[in-house]
Chains A and B, each alone.
Chain A
Amino acid sequence: MASPEDWSRAYARQARADLAARAVLCADGTLPVCAQLHFLQMACEKLCKAYLCRSGSDPQDLQTSHAYIAKTLPLIARELFVAEYGRDLSGRSWLMAHIRHFAREIELLAPAVDANRARRDNAEYPWEDASGMLIVPEQYEFPNLNFLSSAAGRSFLKLVAIAITELC
Chain B
Amino acid sequence: MIQLRRNSPPEWDYPRYQPGETVALFIPCYIDQFYPEIGEATARLLTRLGVPVAFPEGQTCCGQPAFNSGYWEEARRVVRRFCQAFEPYRWIVSPSGSCTAMCRVFFEQVDPDPRIVGVGRRVFELTEFLVEALGLTDVGAYFPHKATLHVGCHTRRELGVVDAPLKMLRSVRGIEYCELPNMDECCGFGGTFSVKMPGTSLAMGRTKAENIVRSGAEVVVSPDISCLMHVHGIMRRDPAMKHVRAMHIAEVLNQQPSGEPA
Partners in one complex: no
